[in-house]
Structure 1
Amino acid sequence: MPKFIAFFCIMFICMNAQAQQTWEIGGNVGAAGYIGDLNINNPVKPSGAQAGLFIKRNFNRYLGVKLNYSFGQISGADSTSGSQQLRDRNLSFTTPLKELSLMAELNFMSFIPDAGKNKYTPYIYLGAGITSYNPKAKYNGEIYELRPLQTEGTAYSSKAIVIPFGAGVKYNFSGKWTVAADLGYRFTNTDYLDDVSRNYAPKSSFNNEIARALSDRSGEKNNIYIGKAGSQRGDYKPRDFYMFVGFTISYTFVTQECYY
């Protein structure tokens, strides 16, 4: 995955040497969501908020490369599911996301704020980056970090490689100011954004009472526990995704040379 980042860095340097450019800075706010073991079927379900800042180099009217930092939060709860099987499982989580990414952005139409003939354009983007995550759950009124507890008997990293991709529409509404709306997804190399992946661990394997309790929460309401050792806990899919959707406002530093 790091090869993707190297590729975009090389592309940035090479194009910088031979093209006219503009710099652009901005920020964004919106909603975040996730697709994984606690949300299997709804790819546009928001479960938290997100915000970010970016700096972008526009090499010409169509192509730019953006360095982006975003902070968001996603969550999920079986108690809100329409499936009785998932409600019986009764797992839940919340995790903050801190993402640093480098993305190539392609405009479908010629676009230079305050200079080009087009006031708007659709666009797409693709990139690579890294995100940190830290799933937590509330139990008996206390918040516990789930990763150190190894609730499935498996250790996993606090960071993941991500591949951001998405599409949007931008509009030059005043001078060098532009607003945009976009929907994007992040493919990750982890299945533990939600601390759920595969099977229940044997309860005898836990030395920590909190870890044992959070590994199988099915009987908290009726005292009937379904988490038999080796039985299915997650959806067995190998990766989780997350989503950012929202609005961006940016300012472009356009030089006289770029007008032509």
Structure 2
Amino acid sequence: MRFILSVVLVTVMTTYVRAQSFFVNVDAGVANYDGELQQKRYTFSQAHPGGGLGIGYEVSPHVILSTGFLFTEISGADKNSSNPGAVARNLSFNTNIFEWNFRGEYQLFDLSDRSLSPYIFGGLAVFHFNPWATDPTGNKVYLHPLSTEGEGLAPDRPVYHLTQVAIPMGFGLRLKLSDNVRVGLELGIRKTFTGYLDDVHGNYFDEATLFNARGPEAVTMAFRSNELPAHSNATYPPPTWRRGTGGDDWYYFTGIRISFRIGGTDYTHNHMGCPTRIL
């Protein structure tokens, strides 16, 4: 009896290991962010295209581990807001996002005998950003070196890092086109631990101190209300005035993931409901 049980156990384990599969994942979609310069938490307004490439490993019919890279862009501008106060602030930014991510997925249904299944995912990501804006003459200016809110110029204004950790999470719906090709429509959000994706976070910094430490360009990029005709007489605010809300920023990617099987095999079922191996 023990021998028979051992043979059955080895057979099951061997079948399970052989059934595991590798996939190449190709991502395509659009990205946006939630922060001071975007009026809505989730919107396609000011969205930018992006894409990614990675590899996945099917641990079981319900669990998939994957890792990959994502490249995209996010931006925001006060001029697009319906809030008159935000429009008067007149700030804007753009930044590319370079991301490496690792995530685990839970797929509700086994796609060996179904064609459609919802799934959820979560994991860890490392991303790099570098916000910039155009100055009054139209030149591209990177904002991080300017310390527009006094980052690094006072004990309570620490410098923010351009490479940081985020927590990706989201959900999707996956369609099995064939045993070797799957397509998922998904929304993935990234919880960051910085409020400076857009270089806007806290209070204004003292104008004279900023000018002496970083020069006139820093003052120009920190306060831009006076560039608007209606506010041409506006003066630089005191440090007690809010420039941002103080919360952390998020970014998100909405798109499709196409997965191509490159290893292992799939199951189908015969007419009696018994699994049949496809070789």
- Shorter-chain TM-score bucket reads 0.7 to 0.9
Structure 1 residue 225: deviation in Å? 2.5
The one-letter amino acid paired with 2:114 is: N
Q: 1:150 to 1:181 in 2, by over 3 A?
A: same
In the superposition, the TM-score normalised over structure 2's length comes to: 0.81
Based on CA coordinates, which of the two structures has the bigger radius of gyration?
2
1:133 maps to 129
Spell out structure 1 runs of 4+ moving beyond 3 A: 256-260
Contact 2:105 2:119 in 1 (8 A): yes
1:99 maps to 99
**Is 1:31 matched up with 2:30?**
yes
Deviations 1:87-109 (A, max 9, x none): 00000000000010100011011
Distance in 2 (CA, whole Å) between partners of 1:226 and 1:53 is 48
Of 39-48 and 197-206, deviating more is 39-48
Deviations 1:11-48 (A, max 9, x none): xxxxxxx8552101021111100001112433233521
| Structure 1 counterpart of 2:244, from 207, 211, 234 | 234
Distance in 1 (CA, whole Å) between partners of 2:93 and 2:43 is 18
How well do the aligned residues superpose, as a CA RMSD in angstroms? 1.7
In the superposition, the TM-score normalised over structure 1's length comes to: 0.87
1:147 maps to 144
Unpaired stretches in structure 2, ≥5 consecutive residues: 1-15, 152-158, 269-274
1:31-110 equivalence runs, <5 A: 31-46=30-45, 47-110=47-110
- Percent identity, aligned pairs only, is 30
Contact 1:216 1:225 in 2 (8 A): no
Distance in 2 (CA, whole Å) between partners of 1:84 and 1:256 is 59
Does the residue aligned with 1:170 lie in a helix, a strand or coil? strand
Distance in 1 (CA, whole Å) between partners of 2:264 and 2:133 is 51
The one-letter amino acid paired with 2:193 is: N
Distance in 1 (CA, whole Å) between partners of 2:133 and 2:121 is 33
Unpaired stretches in structure 1, ≥5 consecutive residues: 1-17
Deviations 1:56-84 (A, max 9, x none): 01101000111020001000000010000
